[in-house]
A and B are shown apart, each in its own frame.
Chain A
Amino acid sequence: MTLDTVKHAAETPESEQPWKELGLKQDEYERIREILDRRPTGAELAMYSVMWSEHCSYKSSKVHLKQFGEKAPENDALLVGIGENAGVVDVGQGYAVTFKVESHNHPSYIEPYQGAATGVGGIVRDILAMGARPVAVMDPLRFGAADHPDTKRVLPGVVAGIGGYGNCLGLPNIGGEVVFDPCYQGNPLVNALCVGVMKHEDIHLAKASGTGNKVILYGARTGGDGIGGVSVLASETFDSTGPSRRPAVQVGDPFQEKLLIECTLEIFREDLVAGIQDLGGAGLSCATSELASAGSGGMRVELDTVPLRDATLSPEEILMSESQERMCAVVEPGNVDRFLEICEKWDVIATVIGEVTEGERLEIFWHGEQIVDVPPRSVAHEGPTYHRPYARPEWQDALQADDAGKLARPANADELREQILKLVASPNQASKAWVTDQYDRFVQGNTILAQPEDSGMVRIDEETNLGVAVSTDGNGRYAKLDPYTGAQLALAESYRNVAASGAKPLAVSDCLNFGSPEDPGVMWQFAEATRGLADACQALGTPVTGGNVSLYNQTGETAIHPTPVVAVLGVIDDVTRRTPIAFAEEGQLLYLLGDTREEFGGSAWSQVVHEHLGGLPPQVDLDREKLLAEILISGSRDGMIDAAHDLSDGGVVQAVVESCLRGGHGARLVVPDGLDAFTFLLSESAGRAVVAVPRSEELRFTDMCGARGLPATRIGVVDGSGADAVVEVQGEFGIPLSELRTAHEETVPGLLA
């Protein structure tokens, strides 16, 4: 086969090209020809096809994502916003924190272990590329029905992959979610988050500037794995009758990644890079075009110098390969020797593959012959933009009219007791220790809080006890009922979780998981959810710093529930003041903060007891969320509360049971005036938390709530321990803690072990 050079392409304008097979649309192919004023070479076509894929170009979503910038609240803490590998936030004392959540949904369904493993690897490199030492990870996961046979294939593989890769990197896994719903049956959601810490002056950006600077590719050799991952896998709907997509999934080597992390951090310490970019989706195509596009000047790359795992790879394949554990750095000539020396120390292969040039073109050569000559912006930043049609689905009204308030409620205390036991044992409400015990949560020795706490918290300075907290939340059931409110509820819950741990919420990263953008109903869900999230971020003063959109999450015509997953990062000045969820001391008073209404639409109770999804999700009151957060943070800082648990799915009873189990104590609850036991225990009204207050602090605490206008209702006391501990609702029923423990802890191992 002859090499398709730029010269050859100009001479053979009519040559047939496989643009369709590469996932491009006719008009997109025409546009490439217009930009280049000739047909693209094979290598150019490969680059455009991956970079203009939905996954890399955000072509369907970007008209909506704009709002995150337009509505961004004033926030002095934001150091680097959307558009870089990850956003960066100032957390004080000269420290900056970067964090981001990303999806690896499609690969994880096809090949659960490698899909999930490389998801962790990718997000960690994003964080590393900002100049930060990664300090923690967490994984929001969603699977099909817990008892479906395929869940038993996918879930253990995903968990083993996250553990197998993450545990080898030495990053504590401090939280995340595990959710089951039949809507994720053929399309699990495997999202991964990483947090990194650096000093302000260490922030690095992905740009190639300075004529004559060298472009160094370092890390693993390039192989044939993951070719077309972003265009073929992540940007199209699965068709169960199609050929196996497994070769498009990358294979990870966590040992190589660990070396890459330490090597890169040492390179940063010596200030040897002018620009840096990780290689993830779209591999070298992405790294070279993005670096060149963001910098001043052009770039020239000798592609045949790239170290290969498989010598038979074609230039197109090398450009598209998504082989893991690779990074690309721009280095001043004077620093190249030292750079290579550090790589050698860590046994990391490093190769100068090109340099920054004066022109404005990205030029790639293969054994001296030019195979790419493009304006890099046209590849990296000026991809297509779609204004996809969207429309409220016809079924939305009927769904909302199917009010959960009409569902049969327990007729008596015995029935209520029985339903509560069923609830705490249901797969979504049960303990996920079987999953999280397969992750290392202790490594690095800075873990202050980890799953099942409300948020994960790590110390970032040993001297001052400065720390950061992160929570991720999402509720596809709420979002299905009302995507605008559902997205806001996801943010509100995450924000509340961070505050309940005692940290001040600062910034947001989001992973927006939706079905096919070609379906106007799905596109409406997406438009509503982004609008809701942007509005709520503005109201709460927490800007979106970056994130990821995952579309085409559907099997055939059936989309998943719209599932915006929202991560909130918070800062705590003194981690010794953190608030755990455990009720650890008998006699402490339990207060319910916030208002409880009859809100059961999308609730855990409606799912577990009635297999129902209908009505409206709980109302959102963002001013109330802010006030609640302030009270939780003050209460923690001033020693007024010893435990706090946010209320979300499963309501008061779920939170109280979790806090009792965590602390090994029982509780006596009293149904407050004006509420019936059922609503008190199971409603999912937002803007609420349960706190444990030492008796000596009661007056001070209630005075503070009174003065600030936050309803605080005394609902009981921590009481009993050991074999005698009971969670009792006075006048209704009591359940021994041991019975609750069995119900709560045996479900997931029973399904999966």
Chain B
Amino acid sequence: MTARIGVVTFPGTLDDRDTQRAVRVAGAEAVPLWHRDKDLKQVDAVVLPGGFSYGDYLRAGAISRFSPLMETVIEQAKGGMPVLGICNGFQVLTETHLLPGAMLRNNHLHFVCRDQKLRVETDNTAWTSDYTAGQEISVPLKNIDGRYVADERTLDMLEAEGRVAFRYLDLNPNGSLRDIAGISNAAGNVVGLMPHPEHAVEPLVGTGRTDGLGFFTSILKNLLKGAHA
């Protein structure tokens, strides 16, 4: 038996099928979840994929956060269920306050799509344990509302508690404060980031690297470990 990882589709979600593939490539079972359902179909973890949910016409993630499914996700995440938010999913997680801070329009005001170098700052989360802290990886980045902001006190707290999970290297592509690309909650079960690890799981496609696969192998190992414990 392998782990069941749910992948949520909101109206306007784009990377759901890619994320399901990444889950499968890592060896887990991908379970599609629909925003209107309250039922999580007994999944062991949930990924909120990228896209423009509800068109992001208000604030990115602001409407999805109120979907029936998210009510259950919020509740379960607080109880320790692992949740990963990628790009729009990260934006949704900040809207739910499972993660602190917010995302603003990129400082250069353009959509940007590039191969982005990151440093994994912590291997102490459910989604990064297969990396080593300080490891440098490259994964695609693509967004227009990717500038991470929070007040100084929150930023200091994140740094002090080791919750800055990823930092942009070489180039800060959007003006994010302290080069922050992703963060985690205090318990380490909820992680959000703007770059797209699910686009870097096969050597053939995208940038040709598999640096993103570690997210999905991390969670799989952690879930299987938990199941055997």
User: Chain A residues in contact with chain B, CB under 8 A?
Assistant: 160, 163-164, 167-170, 253-256, 258-259, 346-347, 436-448, 459, 462, 465, 575-576, 753
B residues less than 8 Å from A258 (CB atoms): 11-12, 14, 52
**Distance to closest chain B CB from A577 (angstroms):** 11
Flag if B52 contacts A168 (CB, 8 Å).
yes
Closest to A163 in B: B111
Q: Pick the contact of B205 from A167, A438, A459 — CB < 8 Å?
A: A459
Whether, in the assembled complex, B51 has its beta carbon less than 8 Å from a beta carbon of chain A, the answer is: yes
Given A168-B12, A255-B52, also A445-B111 (CB < 8 A): no
Q: Is there an interface contact between B196 and A168, defined as CB atoms closer than 8 Å?
A: no
Show 19 A/B contacts (Cβ-Cβ < 8 Å), sorted by A.
Answer: A160-B111, A167-B142, A168-B55, A255-B12, A258-B11, A258-B12, A258-B14, A347-B11, A437-B114, A441-B113, A442-B140, A443-B15, A444-B17, A445-B205, A447-B206, A448-B205, A459-B205, A575-B204, A753-B108
Chain B residues, CB < 8 A from A437:
112-114
Using CB atoms, name the residue of chain B closest to A439: B113
Contact call B18/A438, Cβ cutoff below 8 A:
no
The distance in angstroms between the C-alpha atoms of A359 and B210, with both chains bound, is 61
Q: Is B198's CB within 8 Å of the partner chain A? A: yes
Q: Given A170-B15, A259-B12, do A446 and B52 touch, yes or no (CB 8 Å)? A: no
**Complex Cα spacing A347 to B14, Å:** 16
Chain A residue at smallest Cβ distance from B16: A170
Q: Determine whether the beta carbon of B18 is less than 8 Å from that of A445.
A: yes
Cα(A462)–Cα(B20), bound, Å = 13
Contacts of B205 in A (CB 8 A): 445-448, 459
Besides A443-B199, A753-B108, 9 more A-B contacts (Cβ < 8 Å) are: A168-B52, A169-B14, A170-B14, A255-B12, A256-B55, A439-B113, A442-B142, A443-B142, A445-B22
Query: B21 within 8 Å of A by Cβ?
Result: yes
Interface residue tally for chain B (C-beta within 8 Å): 31
| Cβ contact within 8 Å between B11 and A346 | yes
- Once bound together, how far apart are the Cα atoms of A160 and B105, in whole Å? 14
Which chain B residues lie closer than 8 Å to A442 at the CB level? Answer: 113, 140, 142, 196, 199, 206-207
Query: In the complex the two chains form, is B112's CB within 8 Å of A444's CB?
Result: no
Separation of A749 and B224 alpha carbons in the complex (Å): 49
| B contact residues vs A (CB 8 Å cutoff) | 11-12, 14-15, 17-18, 21-22, 51-52, 54-55, 57, 108, 110-114, 140, 142, 144, 196, 198-199, 201-202, 204-207
Q: Which residues of A contact B17 (CB under 8 A)?
A: 444-445
The 8 A-B residue pairs whose C-beta atoms are closest, nearest first, are: A255-B55, A170-B14, A445-B18, A442-B199, A442-B140, A163-B111, A168-B52, A440-B142
A438 and B110 in contact, given A168-B12, A446-B205 (Cβ under 8 angstroms): yes
Would A444 and B114 be within 8 Å (CB), given that A168-B52, A255-B57, A347-B11 are in contact? no
Q: Which residues of B contact A347 (CB under 8 A)?
A: 11
Tell me how far the C-beta of B47 lies from the nearest C-beta in chain A, rounded to whole angstroms. Answer: 14
Does A164 lie within 8 Å of B21, measured CB to CB? Answer: no
With most chain B CB atoms within 10 A of its CB, the pick from A258, A440, A465 is A440
Of chain A, the residue at the smallest CB distance from B36 is: A345
Contact check, A255 vs B54: say whether CB atoms are below 8 A apart: yes
Residues of chain A lying within 8 A (CB to CB) of residue B196: 442
Shortest beta-carbon distance from A585 to chain B in Å = 15
With CB as the reference atom, state the residue of chain B lying closest to A346. B11
A437 to B115, CA, bound (A): 10
A-chain residues with CB within 8 Å of residue B21 when the two chains form the complex: 445, 462
How far, in Å, is A278 (CB) from chain B's closest CB?
A: 20
What chain B residues lie within 8 Å of A170 (beta carbons)? 14-15, 51
Closest chain B residue, CB of each to CB of A459:
B205
Distance between B152 CB and nearest chain A CB, rounded to angstroms: 30
Determine the chain B residues whose CB is within 8 A of the CB of A346 once the complex forms.
11
In the complex, A255 Cα to B110 Cα: how many Å?
A: 19
Interchain CA distance A444-B49 in the complex, whole Å: 12
Chain B residues with CB below 8 A from A169, complex form: 14
Chain B residues near A168 (CB-CB < 8 A): 12, 14, 52, 55
Measured between alpha carbons, how far is A436 from B110 in the docked complex, in Å? 11
B207 to A, closest residue via Cβ: A442
With the chains together, A168 CA to B201 CA distance in Å?
A: 22
A335 shortest CB reach to chain B, Å: 22
B133 to chain A, nearest CB (A): 27
Contact B18 A444 (CB under 8 A): yes
Q: Does A438 lie within 8 Å of B55, measured CB to CB?
A: no
Q: Distance in Å from the Cβ of B224 to the closest Cβ of chain A?
A: 25
CA distance A446 to B201 in the complex (A): 11
Distance, CA A438 to CA B143, complexed state (A): 9
CA distance A439 to B140 in the complex (A): 12
**Is there an interface contact between B55 and A253, defined as CB atoms closer than 8 Å?**
yes
A443 to B55, CA, bound (A): 16
In the assembled complex, the Cα of A445 lies from the Cα of B15 at a distance in Å of: 8
Give chain B residues whose Cβ lies under 8 Å from the Cβ of A443.
14-15, 18, 142, 199
B14: chain A residues within 8 A (beta carbon):
168-170, 258, 443
Question: Nearest Cβ in chain A — how far from B111, in angstroms?
Answer: 5
Closest A residue, CB atoms, query B52: A168
Contact B15 A259 (CB under 8 A): no
B125 to chain A, nearest CB (A): 24
- B207 surroundings in chain A (CB, below 8 A): 442
Bound Cα distance A346, B9 (Å): 11
- In the bound complex, how far is the Cα of B12 from the Cα of A346, in angstroms? 10
Q: Which residues of A contact B113 (CB under 8 A)?
A: 436-442
Question: Are the C-beta atoms of B204 and A448 separated by less than 8 Å?
Answer: yes
Tell me the bound Cα distance from A575 to B202 in angstroms.
13
A253 to B204, alpha carbons, bound, how many Å?
Answer: 33
User: Which chain A positions have C-beta within 8 A of B51?
Assistant: 170
Contacts of A448 in B (CB 8 A): 204-205
Contact A576 to B204, CB < 8 A, known contacts A164-B111, A253-B55: yes
- Cα-based distance from A487 to B14 in the complex (angstroms): 38
Q: How far is the CA of A163 from the CA of B110 in the complex (A)?
A: 9
Chain B residues positioned under 8 Å from A436 (CB to CB) = 113
- Which of A441, A459, A576 has the most C-beta atoms of chain B within 10 angstroms of its own C-beta? A441
Give A440 to B51 CA distance when docked, in angstroms. 11
Q: How far is the CB of B175 from chain A (nearest CB, A)?
A: 15
Whole-angstrom CA separation of A346 from B202 in the bound complex: 31
- Alpha-carbon distance A114/B140, docked complex (angstroms): 27
- State which of B12, B114, B206 has its C-beta within 8 Å of the C-beta of A445: B206
Which among A439, A445, A465, A576 is the interface contact of B199 at CB below 8 angstroms? A445
For B54, the chain A residues whose CB sits under 8 A away are: 255
Docked pose: A459 CA to B196 CA in angstroms:
19
Closest chain-B Cβ to A156's Cβ sits at a distance in Å of 9
CB of A218, distance to nearest CB on chain B (Å): 15
Complex contacts, A253 vs chain B, CB 8 Å = 55
Closest CB in chain A relative to B215 CB, distance in Å = 14
**How far, in angstroms, from A465 to B15 measured CA to CA in the complex?**
20
A459 touches B204 (CB 8 A): yes
B11 x A255 contact (CB < 8 A): yes
What's the least CB distance linking A459 to chain B, in Å?
7
- Complex CA distance for A700 and B198, rounded to whole angstroms: 40
Q: B144 — which chain A residues lie within 8 A by C-beta? A: 167
Complex: how many Å from CA A256 to CA B57?
12
Chain B positions within 8 Å of A163 at CB level:
110-111
Give which listed residue, B11, B110, B201, contacts A160 with CB less than 8 A: B110
Q: Which of B55, B110, B140, B205 has the most CB of A within 10 A?
A: B205
Please, how many angstroms separate the alpha-carbon atoms of A255 and B56 in the complex? 9
Interface residue from A254, A441, A447, A465 paired with B55 (Cβ < 8 Å): A254
| Distance A459 CA – B142 CA, assembled complex (angstroms) | 20
From A256, which residue of chain B is reached at the shortest CB distance?
Answer: B55
A440 proximity list for chain B (CB < 8 A): 111, 113, 142
Once the chains are docked, how many angstroms separate the CA of A753 from the CA of B144? 16
Cα A167 to Cα B88 in complex, Å, equals 13
Nearest CB on B from A205, distance (A): 27
Closest to A465 in B: B204
**Whose C-beta in chain B lies nearest to the C-beta of A173?**
B113
Residues of chain B within 8 A of A167, CB atoms compared: 52, 111, 142, 144
A347 and B201 alpha carbons, distance in the complex (Å): 33
- A578's nearest neighbour on chain B, judged by CB, is B204
With a cutoff of 8 Å between Cβ atoms, the chain A residues found around residue B108 in the complex are: 753
